[in-house]
Each structure stands twice: as structure tokens, then as C-alpha cells.
Structure 1
Amino acid sequence: MPSIKAALSKPFAKLIAKRIKKWASQPLETQEKVFQNLIKKARKTAFGRDHNFDSIRTYDDFRKNVPIRDYEALRPYVDRVVNGEEDVLWTGKPIYFAKTSGTTSGAKYIPITKESMPTHVNAARNAILMYIYETGNIKFVDGKMIFLQGSPILEEKNGIKLGRLSGIVAHYVPKYLQKNRMPSLETNCIEDWETKVSAIVEETIKEDMTVISGIPSWVQMYFEKLIDKSGKKVGEIFKNFNLFIFGGVNYEPYRAKFENLIGRKVDSIELYPASEGFFAFQDKQDEKGMLLQLNSGIFYEFIEAEHFFEENPERITINDVKVGVNYVMIISTTAGLWAYNIGDTVEFTSLRPYRVIVSGRIKHFISAFGEHVIGKEVEQALREAIANTDITVNEFTVAPQINPSEGLPYHEWFIEFDIEPKDESKLIQKLEASLQKQNSYYFDLIEGKVLKPLVVTKIKKDGFQTYMKSIGKLGGQNKIPRLSNDRKIADTLYKLELTK
């Protein structure tokens, strides 16, 4: 017999699904309402006054008055907020800063306001409820759930609490889930990631875990430690584990490895959360892409990635996007981020409703020779190359080799295999074929003998974990870039003698 909580989850899921379908079926009206609300609320802020919000009536007015900014460009305003000033980017003061490690800015302080905080929490909840509504599966509701996340210990800066987003969100777990939730607060507060995962294994190994959530690369570490301790597959340890919730990276390169670690297939839900907002979640098990959250206080703009670095690229709304085009996503939010470039690129898989996949990062690409290879392309190439084989991959990244000791330049793939290919040349042929098919620029460079075919460099077991530890980014929300346009990561892998 399901508990009262499990039984109530079905009608609640039905109610939420009805609400979501309503705004998803009126996307343009929903976004226009969000847009007008944002402008109205922020008119009297410092940013609103500086950008003529009083005279903004239409999206065209907004485009003319508010330029696109990244964190560095918005930083003069953010610094004022951090220093305790009110009514700068949004009314009043934020209730939190989500602290992230910026590559160019040092620490970034992303404001979270009383208006924006609920959207982070509700989207994660709604993703699970939509899964219940679609599948009718409520068995997991009464079991234990684990969310591998950052420490919930928060610091304070000028009266505003700050910490990692996952640590902030940990304070908002609904009461009806708190008894089910693991790990304990004490374990969750452990800062050292390896120590923390070992402690989580000790706490959970004898529990009835039904839901496991986190970034795949770090969940993989947890699974491997469970197997080392018990000698059993994860699916044997947790017989009722049937739902994996993930975000942050594409799951496909990990899927075969995970199914091997678990010993069977489990359902999964993909999320697209970030410190700047919760943008999308998987609303259908059999549909590609995640439902874009159009009703969460976020107004979206898009710029074709191909034209992003031009002097005045065209900015469009969801009204003009097309399926299959690589876009840089620009957001304006109830946290006071305005025409803000979060750095992600997305592709629409559907316009009825609007669903997206994350295709990469606008700064994470290889274009040393004008090829502009993106994250989605290398992930797809690897997925196709290892399909219907025994090969499994733990982690990988790609970098250009511009100055080889001999011969033509090439793309170097650093791959940590769990099960290595029996025929490496065949793997390379498949990777090459897929990349050349997806990217005509890359094809032309290979055909024109500007580049030679890619090279695979094997990484030692746990080599990428060692690398992440060496740069102080082991665990939490940190992840390996799929590709880089320089050799910083590549050179460090060699320097640390992590190649085979």
C-alpha cells in the first residue's frame, strides 16, 4: 500500500501538469507577460533609470536601450549590490548570492531574490511531478532520495547569505521530503569531496534508495565507491532504485557506463538549472529536449552562435527561433540580470511546446582553424562511435594541437576509458566520420589537408578526477569542459603524467 504522501502525489501532479500545459500552450503571451512584469518592477532601480525603463513599452524598445552583457560587463552594478546598496538591479536587496567560480572574473556573485528563489525550487519539484503524471510511477516517493550537492553551509556578505546554488537550494527541501532525504546535514557539510562521497556511501549503503540525483561524473564516483565496498552492482544494493535525476552535462556519454554500474536500465529526468535561473526540465520520457520554463520570471532572447561574435548580431525572441539552430541564450530575470549572456548555447528540438537541449558553451569550442566544433558535435560523435560496442567512457575532453612535432595539426581527444576499444583505429574512423558529417568546416579542413584526422590520447584511470583535484574543482557542480580552443587542460594532463 502506498503512503498517504505517495497517494496524494498523483492528484498534485495532475494539477501541476494542467498549469504547465496552460502556459506552454500560450508561449508568446506568457513571455510577453513576463517581459512587461520585469520592466514594470525594475523601473525605479538604478539599472532601470540608467536604461530608460520608463520609456520601454516593447521588446524593440528594450533591444535599443539594453545591450547584451556578460558578468564582467554587469559587474559594476553587481559590486554595488554586493556592497549592500538597495534597488540597484532589482527592487530591494537579494536574499542570497549564488557564488560561482568564474574563469575570468574570479568569484562571481549571482543575485537570488525573493521573487526568483521559488522558481529554482518549483521547477525541480515540477520535473518530478510531470514524471509522475506521465508514468504513474509513485513507488519511489516512499523510499530514500539522495541529492549529491554542495555544502549547505552559507557565509554572509553585508547581511546577505551566500553559497553554492545547490547548498542554498538544500535549505528549501519541502517538509514532506525531509525524512526521505539523504545524506545527513552533517555529511552534506563535509567540504572535501572524496571524504564526503565516502561518508555518503557509509550512510546510504543499507538504505532503500529509490531516487539518486546529481551531475553524472560525480554520481559515477559514488556508484564506484558503493561497488568497491559491497562487491555488488548498484541495482542489487538498491533494489528499488528506479529514477536518476541529473543536470549539468549531457548524460548520453555516461549512459552505457551507468547501466553497467547499476546493472539495469532506470528512468531518468534531465534538468537545466544554473545559478542564474532554472531554465528547463525534461517533461516527457520519450521526447528529445527539455521544456523551456517560460513562466518562471525569465525573459529569453537568442542569438545565432555562428554570428554571436559579430559587431551587432541579431537578437530574437522565441517567436523567431528555429529547430536545430545553435543559439546563445540571453536572459533577463526577476533576480535583476538584464540581457545577460550566461554563456550557454542551446538548440530547439521542438516549438510546440518549446523544448531545448544544451549544445555547449559559447566559449567552449574549437576553432583554431575556423572549424568551430562545438560540444554537442563531439558528444554526438563519441556516442555514435561507441554505439553497439563494449566500449565505455568515464570522461573526455578535446583540444587542438596546433604545433605538432611533425606532420599536420589535429584535434587531440583525451579519453578515459573504462572498457577500452579492441580496435582503436576503428573508433577513430567512426569519430572522424561523425564529426565530418556534422561539421562541414571540419570536413573541408580534413579534405584540404589543413588538418589531419584526430588523435586519441588515453587517460589513466581516475585521471580526470586527479586533474580536477589539482585545480581545486573536485566535486560539487564542477565539470570538465568537453572541448577547449587552447591547450591549458591538455598541457596539465601531460604535466601531471595522466596520459597512458
Structure 2
Amino acid sequence: MRGQDVIRLLGFVFLGVLLSLLYQEWTSNADGHWLPYWFRGILLVCCVFCTIASLHISIMPACRYTPANILILQYLFDCFMSGLGIYFSHKLERQTKMCQKEQEQFLQKLLKKQSSTTYGKDKKFSSMKGSDKFRQQHPLTFHCHYEPYLKQILGGEENVLIEGKPLRFGLTSGTTGQRKMIVTSKSRILLFILKFVPIGQRILRKSILPSFSPLLKTCYVYTHTQPNYPCPGITMGPTTMLNLPDLLYRLQYSTPPAGMRLTNEKQATYVHLLFALRDPDLQAIFTIFAASLYNTFKILEEEWPCLVNDVREGCVSDSINLDHEVKISLEKELHPDPKRANELEAEFKKGFYDITRRIWPRMSSLWGVSSGSMTVYEDILKVKFIGDLPIVSMIYNSTECLLGVLHGGAKRTEYITFPGDVFYEFIPVENCSQEQPDTLLAEEVMSGSYYEVVITNIDGLYRYRMGDVVKVTGFYNNTPLLEYGHRVGDVLDMHGERTPEIIIKAALQEAITKYATFHLVDFTCMESDVLRKCTGGSDEEMSNHYTLIAELDGVDGQIENLDNLEKLALDVDLALCDLSSAYSDCRDRDLLQPLLLILVKPDTFRKFRYLLSSKSNGSTMQVKVPKVLRNDEFIQFFMQRKLEE
């Protein structure tokens, strides 16, 4: 009997008990009861709640494989999280109307709280009254500013950057710069789980998924990272690292706990796909970045015959090379399902366009960061696999700080900042190269302008330049709305033209649309002098120009499939001139020559992401491909994989 059927039966039992109690209350005299009045009232209320809850659970869309006890816990957990979402959403609404007042209050509370720490004493926090004093007396900082204090924490000292000691050292991916170690406190973890996630879920239901059911499962394509222990009581690992009780995995995700602890990425992705495929009512697929979504669907495209056979047989293929105990644990959760396997096989044989909606008809969105450099993956996903399904990024998060929550519907990419939880400052993008530029407060920014974000947070970062450039798209009440633009270093700048990655990507896509059978998978670029130094070319051989490296879907190993590579490069150059007046001016004055376009073999960027993850001891779900190359090893990697004409 399915879990929902058990709960439906339980609901009717509670209904019978409730009616019996009401009948006794109606027909009996007050003196005839042996139970106190207050106890009878509590009993009636409990019966009413249990009856309504049980019958509600029995009619909600639910995963057919979930047992009754887990369904009940899912329902109660969702009621708790929904209550938190309502409370904190209303609180955020009030705070956004008094943005600068909330900013000042947050900063003063933080400085007072941290004034007794080693850092607070060194910087004389107790003398800083108001944001003006704070900005005058405390410099803008980079990660190197905190390294002496981090060494003290690693040495076992407490009350250094924050009160007590951190819960974790979060590690950045290091793929867009040097890998950094960031203090993460217990307060931040609790704030994320109990405030930001409930707010995000509430927005998700109101604006994007009105038919959302808490009893359906989500496939989280996750690869576990084993934590390090640099000192007693503190773990070290990426922010994406989960250490949840098994029960919470079962409440949220389609993959059993044993699959959520796999540390090999290919094994983990296969197992996530297997348990996702067996569930026709899967509600969403979740990854950190859209690039990981693309990688997941590529693996599905390659491995579907094996996956379908595993669904049919109720097993995990030996070709995955799982540990024996893990394999046994996972197979206990599987049952042979020839009917579902036949359905899947029929759909896969039709092709992979819009495959998501065809095999999971209840799915109305996918979740993952699709802004900035990830927009290329959203585009190729829509062309190849997901059709018009939106990719939703609920939260603007980083290892250093959680900056905002999504504003509006699924197609929006702007985020509401949190006035009461982070102190924000903004550097106009034209001043980013300065060491200590003047900053603007949240109320002083201009809609439509680009700024480098500076944060002060609860985890010991003060006036910290995290390196993100954002666009202020407008205001929600009196609070800025931010849209991610690019990293500070991800611009091509040979003569002061400062061409960001978003312009390069737009030019590439505009040119490629002329070739109906080709689609952009991913790209990166470099300045010609960087390529010259890496490859040893002479000045005469290489003029000043941009070098673009691109992977195109539909070009299978031979450039002959493309009519004319030089023509495509010229089209990109012309599009770039149209999109950037600064680049066009450099071209007109012969400061820059036509760009060089290099196409690379299929799967090059997927392999590059594996290379990046191996270097950072992390997972590809955390890494971001740098859009401006300056590393010789990375340049050589791409040059060895370029297509020959």
C-alpha cells in the first residue's frame, strides 16, 4: 500500500474519532465526563488538526515511493518552513522601506558585538559611531588583509574575527582567482536555513511555482566533499558542502542518503539521474550552476540505455564501480519497474529536445545560477534539452556572503538586498582599479549603473571587496535591486576599452545565430599579448587583437562542417563593434586588429571544468570557467584541443 493510501486511511480513522468525541460532547451532561474540560478541548483540537492534515496529505501530489511516516514529516516540516517564510518576508518588506536606517542599525550592532574580538580591538570598533566614521577609519580590504587573523584562528585562538570560534572555513573555488579561506559562523548557517531559504521558498511558490507540492521530491545533483579538520572543532570545505542528517535528505531529495554522500562526481551524477528517472512526478532538478545542469543532461544523453535498464531491473549497473556496501544500500531503495522503463525508452528514442517535460510532466522549472557567465549554458540547455522551461536562481550567494533573494518571476535575474543582514557599499565600475576609492551607500546608487560590491558581514569581513560587479536595475521600495554582471578581472582591456564578458558573449551569440545548425556551448577569451607570451610567438606574428576560444554544438571534430571560420570571426568582430563603442573606436583607429576566433573540440569545456575541480580539490558544481584567461596552463589546455582546418 502506498504511503498516501495509508495516510488517507489514517485520516478517516481520525475523522471517526473526531465525530465520536463531538457526539459525546453533544449528548452528555457536563457532570457525566470523567475527563477535565480543558483536556477534552485539547483532544478535540488535536483530532481536528490530525484529520485535516491527514486528508490534506492524501489529496496532495506526492512521490509514490515515499512511505507514510516521511510524508507526514514532509508536511509538518513544510508547515514550519512556510511559517518562517511568511514571518521573514513581512520583516524584509518593512526593512526595504527603511533601507539606510536598517543599514546603520545593523552596522552599529555588529561593531558593538565584535568590539571585544582581537580584530575589533585592533581596529578600535568601539570608537566608530555611524557608517561615516566606519568608512573613514576602516580601509577597504582584500583577503590578504585577514590572513594574519586566520592564522591565529588556525592556531586555536578564539574571539579573533568573530565571537568564539567559526563553525567552518568556507573555501572558494579558486577558478576566477586565488583560492580563499572564509570564516563561516554558526549564525550564518542558521540565518541561511531559517531565514533566507524560507523567504526563497515563499517567493518560489507565489511567483514561479503556484502548483508547488511539498510532498514531491527534488533531484539535487550534488557531489559530496569530505571536510578537512584544520584545527579541533572547525571543518574546512566549500560552502556547497552538506552535512545534513539522513532524515533531512529523505524529506527533500529524490536520492537516498547513501547517494548524497558519494564523492566521485560521475558516480554521483549517475545515481542522482537513476533515482530521478524512476520518479515520473519529480518536481525540480537543482544544481549550483547552470553549467552543472548542462553536464547532467549530457550524461543523461550518453548513459540513458544503461539508466533505463537499471530502472527496469531495479539495480545499479556494475559499470559505475560503486563501493559494494553503497551499492547494496542504494539497491534496497530500488524496485524493478518495467513500465516506467518502457516509457522512458520510448521518449529517449524520440530525441532529447524538451526531454525534461516529456519524462517529468510535473516539472515547471529547473534551479541553478544562470546569470553572468552561466547564461551561455541556459541558452544551450533550452535549445537541446529543456525547451521553454525556466531556470530559476533563487538566491544570490557566494562563499563570502549571501547578497540577495530573487525579485519577481522566473525570467527575472535581479535580487533584493538584505538591509538588516549585510552592510553594502558600492564602488563605481570606472574606479575599480583604484586601491582605496570612495564608496557609495545603498541609498546613493543610480539605477542602470554598474558597481563593484563591498560588504561588511557577520562573519568577520569588513569593507571587503569580494570582486563581483553588479548592475543596479532599480529599487524595491528604497532598497537596490542587483543583477550580477561579471568579476572585476573578467574584462579585456588593451587600450582602456574595458570590454566585459557579457559583451563578448552577446557578440558571439549574435554572430552564431546566422548559422542555424550551430549553438554556443561555452567560451573564454584572452588578449593577444597573453597568448603571445604563452606560445612564444613574435610581435610580428601577432598583432594586437582579442583571441576568442569557443565550443560550438554541432561542429563534430571538423571545421569543414562550418562554411568559413574566417567569415564567422568577422561576423563576431562586427557584432562586437556594434555592441561596444569603445571597442569600435579602437578598431577604427587601428589600435586593435580583427579578433582571432579559435574553435575547440566537443566536450572541451566539460573537461576543462574537471581540470579546474581537480586543482581546487572540489567539484565541478562549484567551479566557474574564467572568461578572461591569464594562466599559461589553461591557455595550453585549450590550444591543444583546437580544431584543425
Answer yes or no: same fold by TM over 0.5.
Answer: yes
Whether 2:387 is the aligned partner of 1:264: answer: yes
Kindly indicate whether the alpha-carbon contact (under 8 Å) linking 1:120 and 1:277 is maintained by their aligned counterparts in 2: no
Whether 2:588 is the aligned partner of 1:451: answer: no
Whether 2:350 is the aligned partner of 1:223: answer: no
Structure with greater strand percent: 1
Whether 2:545 is the aligned partner of 1:410: answer: yes
Q: In structure 1, the residue corresponding to 2:586 is in which secondary structure?
A: helix
Question: Whole-Å Cα distance in 2 between the matches of residues 141 and 212 of structure 1?
Answer: 14
Question: What is the CA-CA distance between 1:299 and the residue it aligns to?
Answer: 0.8
Q: CA distance change for structure 1 residues 430 and 184 in 2, over 3 Å: closer, same or farther?
A: farther
Identity %: 19
Whether 2:376 is the aligned partner of 1:235: answer: no
In the alignment, which residue of structure 2 is the partner of 1:279?
Answer: 403
CA deviation profile, 1:263-298 (whole Å, cap 9, x unmatched): 432233223211111112322117744223324621
Question: What is the CA-CA distance between 1:345 and the residue it aligns to?
Answer: 1.1
Question: What is the CA-CA distance between 1:417 and the residue it aligns to?
Answer: 1.0
Question: Whole-Å Cα distance in 2 between the matches of residues 88 and 13 of structure 1?
Answer: 33
Q: CA distance change for structure 1 residues 188 and 85 in 2, over 3 Å: closer, same or farther?
A: same
Whether 2:151 is the aligned partner of 1:79: answer: yes
Whether 2:297 is the aligned partner of 1:213: answer: no
Q: In structure 1, the residue corresponding to 2:471 is in which secondary structure?
A: strand
Question: What is the CA-CA distance between 1:212 and the residue it aligns to?
Answer: 1.2
Question: What is the CA-CA distance between 1:259 and the residue it aligns to?
Answer: 1.9
Question: What is the CA-CA distance between 1:235 and the residue it aligns to?
Answer: 2.6
The within-5 A match list for 1:115-130 is 115-121=187-193, 122-130=195-203
Question: Whole-Å Cα distance in 2 between the matches of residues 18 and 88 of structure 1?
Answer: 35
Whether 2:271 is the aligned partner of 1:199: answer: yes
Question: Whole-Å Cα distance in 2 between the matches of residues 442 and 282 of structure 1?
Answer: 33
Whether 2:446 is the aligned partner of 1:300: answer: no
CA RMSD of aligned residues (A): 2.9
CA deviation profile, 1:462-498 (whole Å, cap 9, x unmatched): 1112223334256130121122356653332113x34
TM-score (norm 1): 0.89
2:456 equivalent among 328, 332, 337: 332
Unmatched tracts of structure 1, length 5 or more: none
Q: In structure 2, the residue corresponding to 1:139 is in which secondary structure?
A: coil
In the alignment, which residue of structure 2 is the partner of 1:310?
Answer: 434
Greater alpha carbon shift after TM alignment, 384-393 vs 236-245: 384-393
Question: What is the CA-CA distance between 1:57 and the residue it aligns to?
Answer: 0.7
Kindly indicate whether the alpha-carbon contact (under 8 Å) linking 2:378 and 2:391 is maintained by their aligned counterparts in 1: no
Q: CA distance change for structure 1 residues 260 and 87 in 2, over 3 Å: closer, same or farther?
A: same
Question: Whole-Å Cα distance in 2 between the matches of residues 131 and 339 of structure 1?
Answer: 32
Greater alpha carbon shift after TM alignment, 33-42 vs 183-192: 183-192
Kindly indicate whether the alpha-carbon contact (under 8 Å) linking 1:398 and 1:412 is maintained by their aligned counterparts in 2: yes
Q: Which amino acid aligns with 1:363?
A: G
Question: What is the CA-CA distance between 1:189 and the residue it aligns to?
Answer: 2.7
Q: CA distance change for structure 1 residues 339 and 197 in 2, over 3 Å: closer, same or farther?
A: same
Kindly indicate whether the alpha-carbon contact (under 8 Å) linking 1:400 and 1:487 is maintained by their aligned counterparts in 2: no
The within-5 A match list for 1:53-452 is 53-102=125-174, 107-121=179-193, 122-135=195-208, 137-151=210-224, 153-158=226-231, 159-168=233-242, 171=244, 175=248, 178-207=250-279, 208-214=281-287, 215-230=289-304, 231=348, 232=352, 233-247=355-369, 249-250=371-372, 251-270=374-393, 271-285=395-409, 288-295=412-419, 297-352=421-476, 353-386=479-512, 389-402=516-529, 403=532, 406=541, 408-419=543-554, 427-452=568-593
Q: CA distance change for structure 1 residues 18 and 329 in 2, over 3 Å: closer, same or farther?
A: same
Q: Which amino acid aligns with 1:335?
A: D
Question: How many pairs were matched up?
Answer: 497
Kindly indicate whether the alpha-carbon contact (under 8 Å) linking 1:223 and 1:261 is maintained by their aligned counterparts in 2: no
The within-5 A match list for 1:453-472 is 453-471=594-612, 472=614
Greater alpha carbon shift after TM alignment, 282-291 vs 70-79: 282-291
Kindly indicate whether the alpha-carbon contact (under 8 Å) linking 1:290 and 1:355 is maintained by their aligned counterparts in 2: yes
CA deviation profile, 1:397-448 (whole Å, cap 9, x unmatched): 1111234663632211111111356665665455334433443332221111
Question: What is the CA-CA distance between 1:107 and the residue it aligns to?
Answer: 4.8
Whether 2:605 is the aligned partner of 1:491: answer: no
Kindly indicate whether the alpha-carbon contact (under 8 Å) linking 2:175 and 2:626 is maintained by their aligned counterparts in 1: no
In the alignment, which residue of structure 1 is the partner of 2:107?
Answer: 35
Q: CA distance change for structure 1 residues 197 and 286 in 2, over 3 Å: closer, same or farther?
A: closer
Q: In structure 1, the residue corresponding to 2:449 is in which secondary structure?
A: coil
Kindly indicate whether the alpha-carbon contact (under 8 Å) linking 1:97 and 1:163 is maintained by their aligned counterparts in 2: yes
Kindly indicate whether the alpha-carbon contact (under 8 Å) linking 1:252 and 1:383 is maintained by their aligned counterparts in 2: no
Question: Whole-Å Cα distance in 2 between the matches of residues 10 and 160 of structure 1?
Answer: 31
CA deviation profile, 1:157-198 (whole Å, cap 9, x unmatched): 222122211114x538994x7433143333233323223222
Question: What is the CA-CA distance between 1:461 and the residue it aligns to?
Answer: 0.9
Q: In structure 2, the residue corresponding to 1:209 is in which secondary structure?
A: coil
Q: CA distance change for structure 1 residues 429 and 10 in 2, over 3 Å: closer, same or farther?
A: farther
Question: What is the CA-CA distance between 1:249 and the residue it aligns to?
Answer: 4.8
Q: CA distance change for structure 1 residues 146 and 165 in 2, over 3 Å: closer, same or farther?
A: same
Greater alpha carbon shift after TM alignment, 77-86 vs 438-447: 438-447
Kindly indicate whether the alpha-carbon contact (under 8 Å) linking 1:365 and 1:372 is maintained by their aligned counterparts in 2: yes
Unmatched tracts of structure 2, length 5 or more: 1-58, 62-71, 305-347, 556-561
Kindly indicate whether the alpha-carbon contact (under 8 Å) linking 1:94 and 1:111 is maintained by their aligned counterparts in 2: yes
Structure with greater helix percent: 2
Question: What is the CA-CA distance between 1:305 and the residue it aligns to?
Answer: 2.5
Q: Tell me which structure has the larger Cα radius of gyration.
A: 2
Q: CA distance change for structure 1 residues 107 and 370 in 2, over 3 Å: closer, same or farther?
A: closer
Q: In structure 2, the residue corresponding to 1:300 is in which secondary structure?
A: strand
Question: What is the CA-CA distance between 1:117 and the residue it aligns to?
Answer: 1.6
Question: What is the CA-CA distance between 1:360 and the residue it aligns to?
Answer: 0.9
Q: Which amino acid aligns with 2:625?
A: I
Kindly indicate whether the alpha-carbon contact (under 8 Å) linking 1:248 and 1:272 is maintained by their aligned counterparts in 2: no
Question: What is the CA-CA distance between 1:337 and the residue it aligns to?
Answer: 0.8
Q: CA distance change for structure 1 residues 396 and 313 in 2, over 3 Å: closer, same or farther?
A: same
Question: Whole-Å Cα distance in 1 between the matches of residues 628 and 389 of structure 2?
Answer: 29
Greater alpha carbon shift after TM alignment, 221-230 vs 71-80: 221-230
In the alignment, which residue of structure 1 is the partner of 2:620?
Answer: 475
Question: What is the CA-CA distance between 1:386 and the residue it aligns to?
Answer: 4.6
Kindly indicate whether the alpha-carbon contact (under 8 Å) linking 2:357 and 2:363 is maintained by their aligned counterparts in 1: yes
Kindly indicate whether the alpha-carbon contact (under 8 Å) linking 2:550 and 2:600 is maintained by their aligned counterparts in 1: yes
Kindly indicate whether the alpha-carbon contact (under 8 Å) linking 1:149 and 1:477 is maintained by their aligned counterparts in 2: no
Question: Whole-Å Cα distance in 2 between the matches of residues 267 and 18 of structure 1?
Answer: 27
Question: What is the CA-CA distance between 1:62 and the residue it aligns to?
Answer: 0.9
Question: What is the CA-CA distance between 1:391 and the residue it aligns to?
Answer: 3.5
Question: What is the CA-CA distance between 1:220 and the residue it aligns to?
Answer: 0.9
Question: Whole-Å Cα distance in 2 between the matches of residues 439 and 174 of structure 1?
Answer: 52
